[in-house]
Amino acid sequence: MLDERHRSGKRLRVVQVIYGFGIEGGGAGRLGMELARRLDRRCFDPVVCGLWDCGSHLEKEIVAKLHQEDLAAFTAAAWDSSRPYASFTAALRGLRMFLRAEPADILHSHSEFGDIAILPFSSAATHLVRTVHNGYRVEWRKRPLRRYLFTNLLIPLIFHKEVAVNHGIAAAMNRRPAARLLGKQAVLIPNGIDLERFRLDQGQPGPLKAEFNFPEGAFVIGSAGRLSEGKGLDIFLRAAARLVEMGEPVYFLIIGDGELRPELQSLTHDLGIQSRVIFTGPRADIDRLYSCMDLFASTSYWEGISTVILESMAAGVPVVATAIPGNQTIMEDGVHGWLVPPGDVDSLAMALLSAMKDPVERKARAQRALARVQDFNIEGIVRRYEALYEEMMKAIVRSD
């Protein structure tokens, strides 16, 4: 069907709706942008819509880069933390204005807010799809009424397709009474990454470590992502303090930003490890920064498919992560890395120490992880989404 569409000259306009172009969108936002980048331009006309601009330099840098790649990208509204409902209304208005001028064939959401934002635009000519990145029970975790209204009722009724990034999420979505009644099954498509961005020769560890003033011979443990609830970074810092207390020559690199940054920085002072921990803030060159890590730690309480774990594996950095369903989809304990119970400082500290002390095992697990991550190559993931979009559009009668 892609070949038929190519010959006809008709391209499907697919709008990826993400939270924003900064770190707030996390791995979900990065997937939305990668899909837009890699859709076959002969058959698809991709656009990326960030619901909100949070005012960071990184957001402007990313949007400018997308424009340089000849990819349409825009932000629907500015984010005002003091007026969240007004900010949402402004984003809805901005999206509506764009769609009036440039109608879409498919609107694809990558967040709960995106799901609500595109609900009003469902029609015979515009199909809606969403990807659930963090898990059914994580959606609207603090707003159960919204979960009941949107996730359980309206979304199965109005959305044409729903995608789950792992088996557990798919099973939970399929158990919803409305989905069962309507005979709608979630489609399983994991997240993917551009493996070429994380080749082992991306950078030399020495100069990179010097950039952060790590002393010669320091062992660097990194973590990356939004500094927010659910990422368990307080557990990471407490485990870090244990290693420092043992006299280990270890330093810690935390890449990203978020609402918990002041609290986490304060915790490093309380633990007496502030001189061992670098908070980089948001970085556009995270692919380069993996090169200076000897070990990567992910301490999340929940994940769908962790993009940063995939990136670490692709960069050849051994991983210690929490034994949660999303991570267990990616890696097996003792084979591709180390898995520990979430929220367990002692187990995390011991796993980090064990990995530090055994360079042979670190290398062996990292090599097996590098082979495993080939299954998450973004090119294969994009082809699966293209097939999904084509399947959705079969029911649409298009006017010439």
Domain ranges within the chain, ordered by starting residue: 2-192+377-393, 195-376
Q: pLDDT at residue 227 above 80?
A: yes
Q: pLDDT at residue 278 above 90?
A: yes
Q: Whole-structure pTM over 0.75, yes or no?
A: yes
Report the pLDDT averaged over residues 194-223: 80
Q: Given this model, what pLDDT does residue 187 score?
A: 97
CATH of domain 2-192+377-393: 3.40.50.2000
Q: pLDDT at residue 238 above 80?
A: yes
Q: Given this model, what pLDDT does residue 397 score?
A: 46
Q: pLDDT at residue 98 above 60?
A: yes
pLDDT tens digit string along 361-399? 999 999 999 999 999 999 999 999 999 999 988 755 444
Q: pLDDT at residue 214 above 60?
A: yes
Q: How far apart are CA 310 and CA 336, in angstroms?
A: 11
Is residue 124 very low, low, confident or very high in pLDDT (cuts 50, 70, 90)?
Answer: confident
Q: Do 195-376 and 2-192+377-393 fall under one CATH topology? A: yes
Q: pLDDT at residue 314 above 90?
A: yes
Write the CB contacts of 329 (distance below 8 Å, at least 6 apart in sequence).
Answer: 166, 167, 168, 190, 305
Q: Are the C-beta atoms of 202 and 232 separated by less than 8 Å?
A: no
Report the pLDDT averaged over residues 221-231: 93
Q: pLDDT at residue 143 above 90?
A: no
Is residue 283 very low, low, confident or very high in pLDDT (cuts 50, 70, 90)?
Answer: confident
Q: Given this model, what pLDDT does residue 20 score?
A: 94
Q: pLDDT at residue 6 above 80?
A: no
Question: In this predicted structure, which of 114-123, 135-144, 192-201 has the lowest mean pLDDT?
Answer: 135-144
What's the CATH superfamily of 195-376?
Glycogen Phosphorylase B; (3.40.50.2000)
Q: Write out the two tokens for 122.
A: 């469902």
Q: Given this model, what pLDDT does residue 303 score?
A: 92
Q: pLDDT at residue 8 above 60?
A: no
In the sheet that holds 277-281, the strands lie side by side as 277-281, 250-255, 219-224, 295-298, 319-322, 338-340
pLDDT tens digit string along 23-34? 767 889 999 999
**With b meaning 16 or more CB within 10 Å and e meaning fewer, what string describes 285-322?**
ebbbbbbbbbbbbbbbebbbbbbbbbbbbbbbbbbbbb
Residue bearing the bigger pLDDT, 282 or 93:
93
Q: How far apart are CA 224 and CA 230, in angstroms?
A: 13
Q: Given this model, what pLDDT does residue 144 score?
A: 86
Q: Given this model, what pLDDT does residue 398 score?
A: 45
Q: Given this model, what pLDDT does residue 400 score?
A: 38
Report the pLDDT averaged over residues 86-97: 96
Rounded (to 5) percent helix, strand, coil in the chain: 50, 20, 30
Write the CB contacts of 53 (distance below 8 Å, at least 6 apart in sequence).
Answer: 20, 21, 59, 75, 77, 78, 79
